[in-house]
């Protein structure tokens, strides 16, 4: 069973890396988490991103939530912003699509065009 | 919404939008009394009395981008279809308390679902908010306080991969223990 004592060990282990990382610009993953997004399945998508990012130990990635951006029929919507790049909007996301987005876009820098809003509209 | 934990995620976003710094969630499953209830209490900006009476109406919303808000009406319908109800009280400048009651064994009660997924997303996304989460099933209970965890973590973020994985496992294990080691509710 995991206990709070494990946290102390994790803190000690990661503290050095954290101080190094603070000035770096990171990747931002923003998941639409309003009523419409949640009802369409945004939570499993977000959890899948968290798992994939943690598994690959990607330390420069921040996953955050946002409200409704007005395209409820295309939810779950996820925006990915790489440093100094234009925002890419993925629509009708599913947990199954997440691994591909992380591998091709976030790690290698090539957006997965077939999942983007441009391909859906 | 297919799960009560999704309603909870949705309603807790209201507390976050109200600039709460502390959000407390208590989920109680009481098979003996045949009820499932949850309460969300925040110290956000609260609502004026006229908003409290109107907020069950889907054509009332706090946001300015659009004129419909479905979160609370959907929760109300979900509770009422199981013979339950919802309750809302709010004081401007002090915060809001919302609670929902469900018939535990009612055929139309949605499963509670993935509470670990709901809490994991909230805790790692909103690091400057303190969450207290209590979950009781019969006589089994556990409590999580992000303040307590943050005191141990110091400057290390919840979104640090190793911390995120630990938190995910911690939540899943504690949820499973409530049901005697099965990973979801026994009455699915």
**If chain B, 188 residues long, is cut into consecutive pieces of 10 residues, what is the mean pLDDT of each piece?**
92 92 97 97 91 78 63 92 94 94 96 95 92 96 95 86 90 93 51
In chain A, the domains with their CATH numbers are: 23-120 (3.40.30.10)
For residue B183, is it within any domain? no
Residue A22: band (very low, low, confident or very high) from pLDDT cuts 50, 70, 90:
low
Closest CA to B156 of A21, A28, A52, A64: A21
State the Cα–Cα distance between residues B130 and B123, nearest whole angstrom: 8
The answer to whether the complex's ipTM is over 0.85 is no
φ/ψ of residue B27, rounded to 5: -115, 125
Which residue(s) pair with A116 in the sheet?
A: A90
For residue B184, is it within any domain? no
With a CB cutoff of 8 Å and minimum separation 6, the contacts of B122 are: B9, B12, B16, B129, B131
Domain that holds residue B72: 4-178
For residue B186, is it within any domain? no
φ/ψ of residue A30, rounded to 5: -120, 120
State the Cα–Cα distance between residues A60 and A109, nearest whole angstrom: 14
Residues 91-110 of A with CB under 8 A from B: none
The pLDDT score that the predictor gives to residue B186 is 47
Closest CA to B4 of B36, B50, B30: B36
State the Cα–Cα distance between residues B11 and B5, nearest whole angstrom: 10
The pLDDT score that the predictor gives to residue B35 is 97
**Chain A CB within 8 Å of residue B148 CB:** yes
The pLDDT score that the predictor gives to residue B140 is 94
pTM of the model: 0.86
**Chain B CB within 8 Å of residue A24 CB:** no
- Comparing CB atoms, the residue among B1, B152, B157 nearest residue A8 is B152
φ/ψ of residue A112, rounded to 5: -85, 90
**Chain A CB within 8 Å of residue B49 CB:** no
For residue B155, is it within any domain? yes
Q: How many domains does chain B have?
A: 1
């Amino acid at each position: 069973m995991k206990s709070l004592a494990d946290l102390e060990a994790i803190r000690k282990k990661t503290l050095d890396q954290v101080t190094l990382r603070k000035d770096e610009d990171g990747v931002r993953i923003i998941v639409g988490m309003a009523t419409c997004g949640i009802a369409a399945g945004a939570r499993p998508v977000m959890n899948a991103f968290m798992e994939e990012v943690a598994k690959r130990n990607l330390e420069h990635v921040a996953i955050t939530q946002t409200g409704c951006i007005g395209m409820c029929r295309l939810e779950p919507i996820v925006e990915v912003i790489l440093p100094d790049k234009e925002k890419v909007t993925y629509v009708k996301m599913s947990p199954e699509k997440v691994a591909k987005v992380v591998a091709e876009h976030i790690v290698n820098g090539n957006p997965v065009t077939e999942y983007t809003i441009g391909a859906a509209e | 919404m297919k799960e009560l934990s999704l309603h909870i995620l949705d309603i807790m976003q209201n507390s976050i939008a109200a600039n709460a710094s502390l959000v407390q969630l208590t989920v109680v499953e009481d098979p003996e009394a045949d009820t499932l209830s949850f309460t969300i209490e925040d110290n956000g900006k609260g609502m004026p009395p006229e908003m409290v009476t109107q907020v069950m109406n889907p054509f009332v919303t706090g946001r300015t981008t659009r004129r419909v808000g479905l979160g609370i009406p959907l929760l109300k319908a979900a509770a009422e279809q199981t013979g339950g109800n919802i309750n809302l009280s709010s004081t401007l400048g002090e915060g809001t308390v919302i609670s929902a009651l469900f018939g535990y064994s009612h055929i139309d009660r949605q499963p509670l679902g993935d509470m670990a997924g709901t809490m994991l997303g909230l805790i790692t996304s909103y690091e400057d908010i303190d969450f207290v989460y209590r979950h009781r099933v019969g006589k089994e209970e556990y409590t999580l306080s992000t303040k307590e965890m943050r005191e141990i973590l110091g400057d290390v973020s919840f979104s640090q991969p190793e911390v995120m994985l630990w938190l995910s496992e911690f939540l899943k294990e504690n949820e499973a223990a409530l049901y005697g080691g099965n990973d979801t509710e026994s009455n699915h």
